[in-house]
Amino acid sequence: MSYHVNEKGFYGNFGGAFIPEMLYPNVEELRQNYLKITAEHSFQEEFRDLLKDYVGRPTPLYFAERLSKEYNTKVYLKREDLCHTGAHKVNNTIGQILVAKKLGKTRIIAETGAGQHGVATATVCALMGLECIVYMGEVDIKRQAPNVARMKMLGAEVRPATSGSKTLKDATNEAIRDWINNPENTYYIIGSVVGPHPYPDMVARFQAVISEEIKQQLLEKEGRENPDYVVACVGGGSNAAGAFYHFLDDEEVKIIAVEAAGLGVNSGESAATSALGKIGVIHGSKTLLMQSTDGQITEPYSISAGLDYPGVGPMHAHLFESKRAEFIAITDEDAMNWGIKLSKTEGIIPAIETAHAFAVLDTKKFKPTDIVVINLSGRGDKDLNTYIDYFKL
């Protein structure tokens, strides 16, 4: 079975480009060109140089000695939290801004939830001197003031999405509407492995640098390229797509995707799409999606703003359906406790999204010889206020 996208833009039953005709020319232009552009030597050279000198790659693969001892297994952490801007998100925005330039686009738009992708987009726009407009839900603008300020410092315009539930999905709708209204000069940098084909595949390819490095680094440290397990948190799923990418066809590597259970999978306040979602169409992609029986998209809940997307990338929907990946759901409480635990055990304050992934150590039993790689997708600076409020720090 293939876990990669087919020529029609589908991963098994999921994916495609369910877009209004108004978007067709832009999406089609991208579909016809993305592989060609990204394969060019000049593109690869610029992309690799920026990842190295600007983002700070390769990020370390760190052997977490104290955690390993406590759980009696070998835990490695892929340190995406050390990337410039504090998370893996920038791998993708660097890639896409170079594509946008090759396509001759002069105006960049993006959506953001917690603000991490917005900051990563504003950063690369500043780097390239391009106009940047970031759509952000009105509710999120209030919740994430420091990231709004960062985007403004970087020269971006932050536009509030005031429709619907005024959060990430609505910010995405607004960005898509902007693209419909500006079909000639504008490029839309999507922040995750979601949206119409070719976005899920393109974003996964840019994030795939994560698993490419894990393979090389593990070979140096353990004399083998493949771990026994690779673990990542999934909202839309871009850090997970990157961490899984080069292991998808190596069936001996077990893949674990960690979703946000919120207050509990069946509490009515959750973002565990694989457990609660049904097949549907959101933002141009056929995927698993949290929705009412009438097909209205529902608002998910998680304490971490980066995981509360009502869908999941089509690649992940396929990994779930085909059982290639195991999906587990972790509550707010367990994730928050892991935020403290990782800080005290390894001296690393993780993003709350990332903290969900660590709870796998309590959920599953690993053997002493197992190599478990956890993708440490982002750092916790942006979440300090949430940590402070939650633990009365």
**Which residues make up the interface to another protein (CB under 8 A)?**
16-22, 24-25, 163-164, 169-170, 173, 176-177, 180-184, 278-284, 289, 291, 293-297
Q: Which is nearer to another protein, 183 or 268 (CB)?
A: 183
Residues 168, 139: contact at Cβ < 8 Å? no
Q: What is the smallest separation between the CB atom of 277 and another protein, expressed in angstroms?
A: 12
Catalytic residue list contains 111: yes
Write down the least CB distance from residue 13 to another protein, Å: 12
Q: Which of 376, 387, 236, 390 is nearest to 306 (CA)?
A: 236
Q: Which is nearer to another protein, 95 or 313 (CB)?
A: 313
Nearest to another protein of 164, 264 (CB atom): 164
320 and 347 Cβ atoms separated by less than 8 Å? no
Decide whether 171 or 214 has the Cβ nearer to another protein.
171
DSSP 102-140: HTT--EEEEEESSSHHHHHHHHHHHHHT-EEEEEEEHHH
Question: Given 80, 111, 213, 346, which residue is catalytic?
Answer: 111
Residue reference for tokens 């402070």 = 388
The least distance separating another protein from the CB of residue 309, rounded to whole angstroms, comes to 12
How far is residue 95's CA from residue 183's CA, in Å, rounded to a whole number?
Answer: 21
DSSP 163-177: STTSSHHHHHHHHHH
Residue 334, burial from CB neighbour count under 10 angstroms (0-12, 13-18, 19+): middle
Note whether 200 and 315 are within 8 A (CB): yes
Closest approach, Cβ 183 to another protein, in A, equals 5
How far apart are alpha carbons 257 and 237 in whole angstroms?
9
Through-space distance between the first and last CA atoms of the chain, rounded to whole angstroms: 49
Q: At its nearest, how many Å lie between another protein and the CB of residue 163?
A: 5
Residue nearer to another protein on the CB measure, 186 or 377: 186
Q: DSSP string of 257-270?
A: EEEEEET-TTSS--
CB of 181 to another protein, least distance (A): 5
Dist. CA 339–CA 341, nearest whole Å:
6
Active-site residue 89, yes or no?
A: yes
* Whole-angstrom Cα Rg for the chain: 19
For the bound state, the minimum distance from the C-beta of residue 243 to another protein, rounded and expressed in Å, comes to 29
Instruction: Give me the residues paired with residue 315 across strands.
Output: none
Q: How many CB atoms lie within 10 A of CB 109?
A: 25
The catalytically annotated residue of 192, 270, 304, 377 is: 377
Single-letter residue type at 76: Y
Phi, psi at 52, each rounded to 5°: -75, -55
Per the residue annotation, which of 68, 74, 80, 89 is the catalytic one?
Answer: 89
Is 104 or 129 the residue whose CB approaches another protein more closely? 104
* Residue number with CB closer to another protein (74 or 283): 283
CA atoms within 13 A on the CB side of 224: 11
Active site residues: 89, 111, 377
